[in-house]
Every structure is written in structure tokens, then in C-alpha cells.
């Protein structure tokens, strides 16, 4: 006798979840619904409060100081996170840098100098004539500097209301220790006119030597001319402004820098 055919056993479905027994239902849908409801209530309360505050502001005049308090607080808070610096430290560093240049050279230029000499000889009432010598030297080099060895904090004045930094320094002066007198014969002109009864060996030659020795004082005298002094002041102001501008920028980008030269001693 043949056995009746058996039904195949069904395979388990991986996507099938058995219903949870009573009392053990999933709590997440309920929690999410409660959070959405709570957020909705908070937003509604916030909207109502904003409308009430706006209406009250329209009815009551708020002082300007009170109205500006939020902006002021925000500005102060923002300033609290800005990088801080010490003006005294910046100033000390600047003065130290300036002291490393006790002679701040502000102008180097070339000038021409001329020396004229004359000598007259008489004997027993007889005039032996006059010897004249002229020596012109071209391209003599001189320089002007601002002394910074005595510079201190008293030379710096910060005018906060006008946003101005005033720096007082000595006026540029001629550096007499570094005077380069022309030595190239091609750049030196010499003229000699001996007296009618004089020999060049005893009259013209000694006079030319005296003129050459006086070239250095002549170059210094030419360097003290008002025109060159004014040119040195203009150049000195430009050099000092470039050197001290970072100090003004450290105080405030809107600060202007004024260079004042002290009267010459």
C-alpha cells in the first residue's frame, strides 16, 4: 500500500516578524510622536512671546541706551576673542629697533665745491703781482642722518581722539665724519694765474696745495646749504614714515602718522 504524499516544509521568511505579544509593543512611534508634539508647543509659545514683545515695544518707548545694549554686548563679546597686544611692548620693540641705527641715514647725495685762493706780494713798495688759484671738485659725496640714540617714549605721543601718532625726532644733520672729497683728477679743475713777477714754483704751487686742503671744509659748507637741508628733511620724513608705519598700524589701521623734526641745536 502506497503512503500518501507529504507536503513540503515551507522555508522560513527572513523578512517576516512575528507579532509582538500583548504588553510588549514597540515604544519608538509613541516617543517620536511625543517629541513632535513638544516641539510644536515650544514653537507656538515662542511665536506668541515674540508677538507680545513686538506689541509692547510699539506701545512703550524704549530708551536708546537699552535698545543698543544687545549690539553693545555683541561687540564686546566679539572683541573678547580678538587678538590682544601690548602697545607698550610694540613701542619698546620699535624704540629698540631704532636704537640699533644710532645714525639713521636718510639721504646720500653728491655736491660740487670750489675753493679760490689769492696771494699778493710786495717788497720795498713794489708790487710783484697777485697769484690767483681756483680749484673745483665735482661729485663730492655727503650724507645726512637722524640721530636716534637718545630716542625714548617721550618722543611718541598718541592723540586718540584725532587718531594721530605724533613722533618727534631730531632734524637731519650733515654727517661730517663721512665726507668723501673727490680724488679723481679727471673730476677736478684747477686754474692758476701767477703774478707778473712770480714763479709758479714759489707762488702758484703752494697756493694750489692750500686750496686742495680746503676742499673738505668747502664740501661741508656746501652741504649746509638750505636747499640741501630741506631735501634731507623730506627724505628723512619718508624714511621714518616707512620705518614707523607698522607701529601706527598696530594701534589702529586708521591712525595717521605725523613726523615732527625738532629745532636744530
For the stretch 173-217, pLDDT in tens is 999 999 999 999 999 999 999 887 788 888 889 999 999 999 999
The grid coordinates listed for 100 are 640699533
Q: What 3-state DSSP class applies to 22?
A: coil
In the prediction, which pLDDT does 26 show?
Answer: 57
- β-bridge mates for residue 111, sequence order: 140
Using an 8 Å Cβ cutoff, are 244 and 257 in contact?
A: yes
Q: Above pLDDT 70, what percent of the chain? A: 63
Q: Are strands 164-170 and 256-262 parallel, antiparallel or unpaired?
A: parallel
Average pLDDT of span 111-136: 88
End-to-end CA distance of the chain: 143
Q: Above pLDDT 90, what percent of the chain? A: 35
pLDDT, one tens digit per residue, over 33-42 is 677 676 676 6
On average, the pLDDT of the chain sits at 76
User: pTM of this prediction?
Assistant: 0.61
Which range in 49-58, 162-171, 219-228 is most confidently predicted, on average pLDDT? 219-228
In the prediction, which pLDDT does 48 show?
Answer: 63
Amino acid at each position: 500500500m502506497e503512503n500518501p504524499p507529504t507536503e513540503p516544509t515551507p522555508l522560513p521568511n527572513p523578512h517576516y516578524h512575528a507579532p509582538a505579544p500583548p504588553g510588549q509593543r514597540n515604544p519608538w512611534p509613541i516617543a517620536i510622536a511625543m517629541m513632535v508634539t513638544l516641539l510644536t508647543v515650544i514653537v507656538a509659545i515662542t511665536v506668541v512671546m515674540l508677538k507680545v514683545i513686538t506689541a509692547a515695544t510699539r506701545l512703550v518707548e524704549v530708551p536708546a541706551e537699552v535698545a543698543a545694549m544687545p549690539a553693545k554686548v555683541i561687540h564686546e563679546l566679539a572683541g573678547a576673542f580678538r587678538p590682544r597686544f601690548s602697545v607698550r611692548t610694540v613701542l619698546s620693540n620699535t624704540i629698540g629697533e631704532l636704537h640699533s641705527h644710532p645714525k639713521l641715514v636718510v639721504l646720500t647725495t653728491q655736491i660740487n665745491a670750489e675753493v679760490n685762493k689769492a696771494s699778493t706780494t710786495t717788497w720795498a713798495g713794489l708790487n710783484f703781482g697777485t697769484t690767483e688759484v681756483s680749484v673745483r671738485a665735482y661729485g663730492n659725496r655727503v650724507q645726512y642722518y637722524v640721530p636716534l640714540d637718545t630716542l625714548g617714549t617721550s618722543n611718541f605721543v598718541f592723540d586718540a581722539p584725532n587718531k594721530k601718532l605724533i613722533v618727534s625726532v631730531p632734524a637731519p644733520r650733515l654727517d661730517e665724519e663721512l665726507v668723501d672729497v673727490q680724488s679723481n683728477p679727471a673730476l677736478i679743475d684747477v686754474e692758476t694765474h701767477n703774478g707778473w713777477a712770480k714763479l709758479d714754483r714759489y707762488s702758484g704751487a703752494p697756493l694750489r696745495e692750500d686750496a686742495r686742503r680746503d676742499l673738505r671744509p668747502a664740501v661741508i659748507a656746501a652741504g649746509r646749504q638750505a636747499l640741501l637741508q630741506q631735501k634731507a628733511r623730506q627724505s628723512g620724513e619718508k624714511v621714518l614714515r616707512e620705518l614707523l608705519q607698522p607701529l601706527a598700524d598696530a594701534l589702529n589701521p586708521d591712525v595717521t602718522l605725523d613726523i615732527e623734526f625738532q629745532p636744530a641745536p
